[in-house]
């Protein structure tokens, strides 16, 4: 079936640099795309979401970009800090399916001091 | 505001035994999700409730897994009998539902089947 796809790389980034995490999705019917952060031993934590009718949304130090043409989602973290070290997941939400929330495989971000 | 509460935090059982997990969602949240997260993978949806009705249980192994949300608030997820491959973290999440899509997750229950 259709699903959010995300390879499972590890991204090593120097403290203070910008991080970019990418995600490919296949379900064009999704209404929202969401980025979650998961620290060791904790549940996923909401970072930011974007509606399918938008192409960019900014939060505090984070920006999400959506390219529906190529079904690609990215999360940019500005001035990466040690506290940003975690696994990041993209997820898609389908209102037509009762707000079904489907996750991809995750990217581990390691921030080097 | 209290978050999503789950218990127990950890559980170790032998294969073929049964186990139950409990979830108390955020007050007022109509939608409740149970996810299975195997180490190194993203969470996989097992079952989704809207109040006390099942919205999606297409990926729930119904021969051994069951879940209920009788009064539309707390929920329990049961595995009987457990298999080695059920070792995972079981996450519960809740959201307001139709109006707000943000889902809040509990810390999860780490199950080890030996």
pLDDT, tens digit, 9 for 90 and up, residues B33-55: 999 999 888 999 999 999 989 99
Quote the CA–CA distance of A90 and A48 in Å, as a whole number: 10
Non-local CB neighbours of B20 within 8 Å, separated by 6+ positions:
B76, B77, B78, B79
Examine the pLDDT at A3 and tell me if it is beyond 50. Answer: no
Structure tokens at A100: 């079904």
CB-based contact, B36 to chain A, within 8 Å = no
Quote the CA–CA distance of A104 and A82 in Å, as a whole number: 24
Tell me if B48 and A103 make a contact (CB, 8 A cut-off).
Answer: no
Average pLDDT in chain B: 93
Q: Which range is least confidently modeled, A5-9, A23-27, B45-49?
A: A5-9
Quote the CA–CA distance of B41 and A91 in Å, as a whole number: 13
Tell me if B50 and A98 make a contact (CB, 8 A cut-off).
Answer: yes
A29-72 tens-digit pLDDT: 888 899 999 999 899 999 999 999 999 999 999 999 999 999 99
Partners of residue A45 in chain B, C-beta under 8 Å: 105
Contact status, residue A48 vs residue A57, Cβ threshold 8 Å: yes
Q: Which long-range contacts (CB under 8 A, 24 or more apart) does A1-7 make?
A: A2/A26, A2/A27, A3/A27, A3/A102, A3/A104, A4/A90, A4/A91, A4/A92, A4/A102, A4/A103, A4/A104, A5/A104, A5/A105, A6/A89, A6/A90, A6/A104, A6/A105, A6/A106, A6/A107, A6/B42, A7/A105, A7/A107
CB-based contact, B25 to chain A, within 8 Å = no
Contact status, residue A31 vs residue A17, Cβ threshold 8 Å: no
Per-residue confidence (pLDDT) for residue A34, from 0 to 100: 93
Quote the CA–CA distance of B47 and B75 in Å, as a whole number: 11
* DSSP character string of A22-53: EEEE--TT-SEEEEEEE-TTS--EEEEEEETT
Examine the pLDDT at B92 and tell me if it is beyond 50. Answer: yes
Partners of residue A106 in chain B, C-beta under 8 Å: 40-42
Per-residue confidence (pLDDT) for residue A72, from 0 to 100: 93
Per-residue confidence (pLDDT) for residue A98, from 0 to 100: 77
* Bigger pLDDT: B101 vs A29: A29
Tell me if B56 and A44 make a contact (CB, 8 A cut-off).
Answer: no
Examine the pLDDT at B82 and tell me if it is beyond 70. Answer: yes
Per-residue confidence (pLDDT) for residue B62, from 0 to 100: 96
Non-local CB neighbours of A70 within 8 Å, separated by 6+ positions:
none
Non-local CB neighbours of B55 within 8 Å, separated by 6+ positions:
A97, A98, A99, A100, B31, B48, B49
Examine the pLDDT at A1 and tell me if it is beyond 90. Answer: no
Examine the pLDDT at A2 and tell me if it is beyond 80. Answer: no
Alpha helices in chain A (DSSP H): none
Partners of residue B102 in chain A, C-beta under 8 Å: 34, 46, 49
């Amino acid at each position: 079936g259709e699903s959010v796809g995300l390879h499972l790389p590890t991204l090593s980034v120097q403290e203070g640099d910008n991080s970019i995490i990418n995600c490919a999705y296949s379900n064009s019917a999704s209404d929202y795309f969401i980025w979650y952060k998961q620290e060791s031993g904790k549940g996923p934590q909401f970072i930011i979401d974007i509606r399918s009718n938008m192409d960019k949304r900014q939060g505090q130090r984070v920006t999400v970009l959506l390219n529906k043409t190529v079904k690609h989602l990215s999360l940019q973290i500005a001035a990466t800090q040690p506290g940003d070290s975690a696994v990041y997941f993209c997820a898609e939400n389908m209102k037509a399916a009762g707000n079904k929330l489907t996750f991809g495989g995750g990217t581990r971000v390691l921030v080097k001091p | 505001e209290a978050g999503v509460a789950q218990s127990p935090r950890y559980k170790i059982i032998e294969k073929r035994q049964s186990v139950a997990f409990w979830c108390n969602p955020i007050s007022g949240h109509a939608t409740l999700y149970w996810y299975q997260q195997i180490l190194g993978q993203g969470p996989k949806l097992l079952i989704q409730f809207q109040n006390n009705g099942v919205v999606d249980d297409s990926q729930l192994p119904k021969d051994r897994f069951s879940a209920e949300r009788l009064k539309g608030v707390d929920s329990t997820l049961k595995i009987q009998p457990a298999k080695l491959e059920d070792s995972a973290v079981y996450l519960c999440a809740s959201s307001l539902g139709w109006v707000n899509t943000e889902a809040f997750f509990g810390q999860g229950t780490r199950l080890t089947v030996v």
